[in-house]
Amino acid sequence: MIRFYVVTIFPDAVRPYMEASILGRAQESKHIAVTYHDPRENAKNKWGKVDDRPYAGGPGMVMTAEPLLRTLDKIAKSIARKKNTKTKVILFAPGGKQFTNTYAKQLVTKYTDIVLIAGRYEGIDARVKKIFKAEEVSVGPFVLTGGEVPAMLLVDACARQIPGVLGKFESLEEERTASPEMYTRPEVLEWKGKKYKVPKVLLGGNHKDIEEWRKSKLG
């Protein structure tokens, strides 16, 4: 089992996706476990405040270190009580290591426990990364409002790499020739007076021709 720990101030935004469809079944079958850890619960103020103004000025607010450190420390202690563990701490940032399927495979092969820090606002106090030796990871050349979407993306991509997670009707696209054009029933689709047919090559049963057709569509 691979255990994921999502550190976020919006756990209710993440939980529905993680508990649906393939990821939900993966948790039920004990292939993965996903838990949620809200830094606001470890803030030492009555408002649960976890952000403050950045030193030297600048736009927006920065997530403060102490609530995150307390949260990460609790996670680390819970992992330490388990046997034969290897932990990876990941912090999502636009300038981090590019996330890929290869990286997802490496994560599920090398680690038993993966901690995902979903930042908010303008970022996280840099001392959190230093203290917990977190690796910065980027899911693409763009900026999001928080790390929750990247966290869901990473868990999804990693879970697919675990044997037994994908059921009978699913498969790893990277293990076969995928095509940008896919078709299903009916063979002839009628829409607003026009007929749209499935390419004949897909109906003939010649697997060699089908593979060549799919490759040609990849460009």
Which neighbouring-strand residues pair with 95?
A: none
pLDDT of residue 169: 47
pLDDT score, position 176: 55
- The CA dihedral of 63, 64, 67, 73, to the nearest 10 degrees, is 100
This prediction has a pTM of 0.87
Q: How high is the pLDDT of residue 175? A: 55
Supply the pLDDT for residue 44. Answer: 83
pLDDT of residue 123: 87
Residues of the chain with pLDDT under 50: 169
In b/e form, how buried is each residue of 64-98, taking b as 16+ CB within 10 angstroms? bbebbbebbeebeeebeeeeeeebbbbbbbeebee
